[in-house]
Amino acid sequence: MSSVSIVIPMLNEERALPALVAHLKRLDPAPLEVVAVDGGSEDRSRAIANDAGWRVFTARQGRGSQINAGVGAARGDLVVVLHADTVPPPDMVGVIAETLADPSIALAGFTPIIRGPDKVRWGTTAHNWAKTWYAPLLARPHLFLRGARLLFGDHAMFFRRAQFLESGGCTPDAKVMEEADLCVRLLDHGKVKLLRRTVETSDRRIAEWGALKANWIYFKVGMLWASGVRERLERHYPDVR
């Protein structure tokens, strides 16, 4: 039986969830479970997750606290955090198990391809790839020299549950950049690796803001985090559903 748990932090995701439910049903091998952690949705998110047979929990709103709750409730030895608007490959579970069979890897993630209904956002896709390199180089150069990469939620990051808990997990109050904190913490347990395998994620922020504004916001939030500005960081990164 698979020991991979999928944790999905969600908030008002009724538009994205039906497609994700369909894709998760096609995973081969199947995961041990899907754990959805709701942050107070006011739409049908919880109902859709319940109908899909997922384990559904409620946590204080904010991806940091929601991810912590989901990993805490997970039954698998390995955990992947999947955003509701990100579509994994059918063999995701096998890829996770094979990657984490290497004890030198503490955390890894897929390469996201940002796609809309009628086109791929290649420019932002390339920027996101480059950011995994330049963000740690600028923000934590001493860790960059140790091989650190900074991955984010769209990368479908995965790790060993025991090491996540031992590291303290995500910053509980973090609503954005919680993944970067986790990469730094888990580096004490091994390497952070970006796989060449891909996932597809929604371009909804780019469609709302435009490509230039979206990439500026991504860069600005990252630099504020690197500078230690953590208070109300989410005000620079508004929700788009």
Q: Which amino acid, 134?
A: Y
Whole-angstrom Cα distance, residue 76 to residue 185? 21
Using 50, 70 and 90 to split pLDDT, how confident is the model at 206?
confident
Whole-angstrom Cα distance, residue 204 to residue 213? 13
38, 62, 31: which is closest to 170 by C-alpha? 62
Whether the per-residue pLDDT at 220 is higher than 80: the answer is no
Question: Positive or negative CA dihedral for 163, 107, 79, 45?
Answer: positive
Span 67-112, pLDDT tens digits: 999 999 999 999 999 999 999 999 999 999 999 999 999 999 999 9
**Is 39 in contact with 66 (CB distance < 8 Å)?**
yes
Whether this model's pTM surpasses 0.85? yes
pLDDT (mean) for 18-32:
96
The DSSP string of 112-143 is EEEE-SS-B-HHHHHHHHHHHHHHHHHH-HHH
CA distance between the termini of the chain: 35
Whether the per-residue pLDDT at 1 is higher than 50: the answer is no
- Which tokens belong to 62? 């904010």
Q: Is the peptide bond before 29 cis (omega within 30 degrees of 0)?
A: yes
Whole-angstrom Cα distance, residue 153 to residue 17? 16
